[in-house]
Chains A and B, each alone.
Chain A
Amino acid sequence: MRASPGSEASLWVLFRGQLRRDLKLAFGQPSELANPLAFFVVVITLFPLGVSPEPGVLAGMAPGVLWIAALLATLLGLEALFRRDRDDGTLEQMVLRAQPLYLPVVARMLAHWMVTGLPLTLLAPVLGGMLNLAPEARLPLMLGLALGTPVLVLLGGVGAALTVGLRTGGVLLALLVLPLFVPVLILGVSAAELAGSGLDPTGPLLWLAAGTSFAITTVPFAIAAALRIGVETG
């Protein structure tokens, strides 16, 4: 049967359908799935080799290095986020048919976060061990990444949607979104550093949580609007 348009049930069908499709697509390409994670691991491994193997030096820079590597790893997968959908016409169908477009966009970003931000968050404390990260900083680091990576993915989504019509949007995308990543980076790193020096990290974590809530509720509208423009200019 057909759900009446806009009813809760049909909105749920729309959201779930998009999420299921995007997760299937992500797991259909294991190499693209592994790329950001491998990048993250390799970059972290290079630091003790290239900078200094001194435990004290490593411990001092561990939160910053982990965060910057996670941020760049997030950036890796962004360019392809809407590109393939645009090329095969599914983006066109989504913009045309989905009402509201907000829901599939949220589902798409959630799926992308589940295959990038979430594994990065889970990997970070393990790699933190390699950098001699203070044990009491592990949990704040993970919390920070769990709250911060959704913002990175969403802001990156705006950049990916704006550059979807461009053949070589990669560099432009990085230039667009990296400055927006700065507040997240500062808050995330300071939470882990505060905890590492025995102080209370609640402040920056709460700020991150506020930013995440704000981003989840508003940024998908911006992505939807940018996708509409991308489809219209195609």
Chain B
Amino acid sequence: MSHAVLDIRDLRCERDDRELFADFDLRLEAAQALQLRGPNGAGKTTLLRCIAGMHPEYEGSIRLLGVPVSGDQLLFVGHRPGISGLLSAADNLRWHLDLAGWRGSGGVVSAALERVGLIGYEEVPCQQLSAGQQRRVALARLALPTAEVPLWLLDEPFTALDDAGLQLVSGLMAQRLAGGGAILFTTHQPAPDLPGLSTRWIGAAS
């Protein structure tokens, strides 16, 4: 029997004594993208953190390809970019490769930076880049070979990006979907045009 990429059942989750989810079910198959929508404070980020294993106070089952979630099967891009401002873009990406135990040439780093349009800024400390450029460095992680994992969790990936950046990220997302990955993301902006995209509202509004 084949398993869904992401299978959440009977999730019950609290944050600061407030119930965010009860009897929450979610199923995400390969090559599917799901956009989470809801008002601020509805629990979109908390849901992503629950799945990534960074919010342990929940009841219910969260399974990735039929087994409990492990950090090397997913890619998480959160509000905090995971990019050190004192290091250059290239150093930051190299560290992300090292973290995943990737052995290979530095060519993939420049390829990823080229993809997000940061050629010429490789060796500039990230804190000297603009907000949008810093966001692009964080999103360049999506273009690294270590991003070829079954599940992407993207929290507000389109924040601070211009139109070209938006196109770029939806392009990377479409590419991952075509490669058989699944994507769960949150955004307040209109959803990009992606194959296999559906929307799920959570929280008070409907």
Contact = CB atoms under 8 A, between A and B. Distances in A.
A74 B125 CA distance: 28
Interface residues of B, number: 34
Contacts of A127: none
B130 to A, nearest CB: 16
Given A24-B87, A28-B87, A232-B54, A13 B82 contact: no
Contact of B56 (A13, A17, A92, A232): A232
Residue of A3, A14, A85, A96 with highest tally of chain B CB at under 10 A: A96
A178 B103 CA distance: 41
A93 B99 contact: yes
A92 B103 contact: no
B80 A3 contact: no
A94 interface: yes
Interface of B: 52-56, 70-72, 76, 78-87, 91, 94-104, 125, 145-146
14 contacts: A3-B102, A9-B103, A18-B99, A24-B87, A28-B125, A88-B84, A88-B85, A90-B84, A92-B76, A92-B78, A93-B99, A96-B53, A97-B99, A232-B56
Given A2-B104, A2-B145, A87-B80, 20 more contacts: A2-B146, A3-B102, A5-B101, A11-B101, A16-B98, A18-B95, A20-B95, A21-B95, A21-B98, A28-B125, A29-B86, A88-B81, A89-B79, A89-B83, A92-B54, A92-B82, A95-B54, A96-B54, A99-B101, A232-B56
Interface of A: 1-3, 5, 7, 9-11, 13-14, 16-18, 20-21, 24-25, 28-29, 84-85, 87-90, 92-99, 104, 231-232
